[in-house]
Structure 1
Amino acid sequence: TPARQAAGGSAPPGPGRRLRTAKPGRAGPVTCGAGPEPHGGAAAGRPPEAEERPDLSQASVSNGSDSESGKELVELKVIWNKNKYDVKFRLDSTGADLKQKIHSLTGLPPAMQKVMFKGLLPEEKTLREIKVTNGAKIMVVGSTINDVLAVNTPKEAAQQEVKAEENKKEPLCRQKQHRKVLDKGKPDDVMPSVKGVQERLPTVPLSGMYNKSGGKVRLTFKLEQDQLWIGTKERTEKLPMGSIKNVVSEPIEGHEDYHMMAFQLGPTEASYYWVYWVPTQYVDAIKDTVLGKWQYF
């Protein structure tokens, strides 16, 4: 009442008015909400070290950074052997570091990797230096050790099988088609052989040999006409040496100082013209002459 106020009493709180009381043991007024800092904040009960503590709410955090190392990361798509890997990698790492990462993902050793990003990825430069950005595609070419072995093993096995078949293959002189001629024995008028010696072609025809039908045959080398004449009792065939595709020979088993020899007259082995009991000292000269390698003086 006005009389109580005049006597120094306090008025009861009215509507919308909050009664403020001081907490025990704390000096100074109690304020609600943020207000101006009172003078002498440290003296007003605030610890001195609180003024030096940084405000963590203002620390900057960059997107795409490693929370542990604080280094910036870049998102990559690594593509190898039709497989895709999503990788987050440090932007300041080198191409060599990336190869190690690819090794951990694929098992492909760095030495066997060809890493492509706008060309071959340089190992000594960082991803930042070569301008790798988020979402970049990194192409990797290469095969693992196991892949290489898986490819080579069947190939090597096939080669060994072929070699084994060749080893099992009968010598030509044992094959039936040749045996029927060789079983006639060495012709009586065959030219003598000199084993272990190579000679030039004689100036006379090579005679006293057999052809595949067992008839007598002679070989005449017409060098001035670049022709080989194959003569039998019935006729003489004059063949341009350039038309002969190949010449093959093999020692006759048991008579290694003589060879059986074939002239390939067409595109396949079916066109071989066989001659038996060729003296060994003339074999290389015949091949070189027909194939155009022998020089005459």
Structure 2
Amino acid sequence: GAEEPGMEAEAQELPLGCGGEGGSPAAGRSPEGDERRDPSQASVSNGGEAESGKELVELKVIWNKNKYDVKFCLDSTGAELKQKIHSLTGLPPAMQKVMFKGLLPEEKTLREIKVTNGAKIMVVGSTINDVLAVNTPKEAAQQEVKAEENKKEPLCRQKQHRKVLDKGKPDDVMPSVKGERLPTVPLSGMYNKSGGKVRLTFKLEQDQLWIGTKERTEKLPMGSIKNVVSEPIEGHEDYHMMAFQLGPTEASYYWVYWVPTQYVDAIKDTVLGKWQYF
């Protein structure tokens, strides 16, 4: 057994490139070892094959301006090489594009695609962290989308409205009954966004909407109101929360809570001028 030291040295080198096949401690044992241990016999013969059949090839793996010198089994497949590249670069095989005279086939061995010593293997791909770093702007965009979605959340669940609605229904709220004509008397018993009492008076002859609070009455020309939005109050569907848009943006909404449902359409039609053509 004079050549044994050589065997051991080679068996030791194998794990570098061959993923440890044949590199088990048993591989270095002499064949005259314990006959009864079949597993060790098997690994001894593997070790033998590793020496004779498994040539190592030296590769230069180049990824992102980094160069790696790698010894790898000629009879390993492209897929196994990708695993090796993963261990070197942290780049998951699924994210790797490995090039050797074109795209490296995963199922073929390096011998089959005629990889020789000193061959350059180019790797293209980004690690998860690189991808995340690039995608941060996208995350900002997603947050904007979320903000949009939050707007779509029922208005009565949004914080600014909750604080008024949580006060409950005003004692003197007008009864909600079916029918949709404008009330001839001022519509009272509602709250504005600060939770103060508010009443609405429709002065059709002056084409004005009067919004009255304890402090003062705003007299708004109907034509100055850009939009009217409303949504039923959850759990009290016979009442709505309604906003009159007094300026160019949503920031100018004047919110009124607890508008009896039967008046909602008539208010919108009156304010937005549906009837003026008749």
- TM range, normalised to the smaller chain? 0.3 to 0.5
Q: Is the 8 A contact 2:61 2:67 kept in 1?
A: yes
Alpha-carbon shift at residue 202 of structure 1 (Å): 1.3
Distance 1:121 1:269, change over 3 A: farther
Distance 1:208 1:122, change over 3 A: farther
TM-score, normalised to structure 1's length? 0.44
Alpha-carbon shift at residue 283 of structure 1 (Å): 0.2
Q: Is the 8 A contact 1:77 1:84 kept in 2?
A: yes
Comparing 62-71 and 282-291, the one that deviates more: 62-71
Deviations 1:24-56 (A, max 9, x none): xxxxxxxxx999999xxxx99999999999999
* Structure 2 SS opposite 1:266: coil
Q: Which has more helix, going by share of residues? A: 2
Larger Rg: 1
Distance 1:267 1:144, change over 3 A: farther
Distance 1:114 1:190, change over 3 A: farther
Moved over 4 A (4+): 2-16, 33-38, 43-165
> RMSD in angstroms over aligned alpha carbons?
19.5
* Structure 2 SS opposite 1:65: helix
* Structure 1 SS opposite 2:28: coil
| C-alpha distance in 2 between matches for 1:65 and 1:5 | 11
Distance 1:142 1:251, change over 3 A: farther
Comparing 80-89 and 199-208, the one that deviates more: 80-89
Percent identity, aligned pairs only, is: 92
Alpha-carbon shift at residue 170 of structure 1 (Å): 1.9
Q: Which residue of 2 aligns with 1:36?
A: 23
Distance 1:61 1:230, change over 3 A: same
Alpha-carbon shift at residue 169 of structure 1 (Å): 3.7
Distance 1:187 1:59, change over 3 A: closer
* Structure 2 SS opposite 1:49: coil
Q: Is the 8 A contact 2:17 2:71 kept in 1?
A: no
Alpha-carbon shift at residue 294 of structure 1 (Å): 2.7
| C-alpha distance in 1 between matches for 2:233 and 2:32 | 109
Q: Which residue of 1 aligns with 2:271?
A: 290
Distance 1:266 1:85, change over 3 A: farther
Alpha-carbon shift at residue 138 of structure 1 (Å): 46
Alpha-carbon shift at residue 133 of structure 1 (Å): 58
* Structure 1 SS opposite 2:79: helix
Comparing 274-283 and 159-168, the one that deviates more: 159-168
Alpha-carbon shift at residue 200 of structure 1 (Å): 1.0
Deviations 1:204-247 (A, max 9, x none): 01000000000000000000000000000010000000000000
TM-score, normalised to structure 2's length? 0.46
Distance 1:12 1:282, change over 3 A: closer
Distance 1:112 1:243, change over 3 A: farther
Distance 1:181 1:53, change over 3 A: closer
Q: Is the 8 A contact 1:285 1:294 kept in 2?
A: no
Distance 1:69 1:255, change over 3 A: same
Deviations 1:113-161 (A, max 9, x none): 9999999999999999999999999999999999999999999999999
Q: Is the 8 A contact 2:246 2:253 kept in 1?
A: yes
* Structure 2 SS opposite 1:50: coil
* Structure 1 SS opposite 2:33: helix
Deviations 1:95-115 (A, max 9, x none): 999999999999999999999
Distance 1:103 1:230, change over 3 A: same
- Report the number of matched residues: 274
| C-alpha distance in 1 between matches for 2:62 and 2:245 | 53
| C-alpha distance in 2 between matches for 1:3 and 1:213 | 89
Distance 1:241 1:117, change over 3 A: farther
Distance 1:134 1:4, change over 3 A: closer
| C-alpha distance in 2 between matches for 1:190 and 1:8 | 90
Q: Is the 8 A contact 1:99 1:113 kept in 2?
A: yes
Q: Is the 8 A contact 1:66 1:73 kept in 2?
A: no
| C-alpha distance in 1 between matches for 2:239 and 2:146 | 26
Distance 1:3 1:84, change over 3 A: closer
Alpha-carbon shift at residue 166 of structure 1 (Å): 3.7
Q: Which runs of 5+ in 2 are unaligned?
A: none
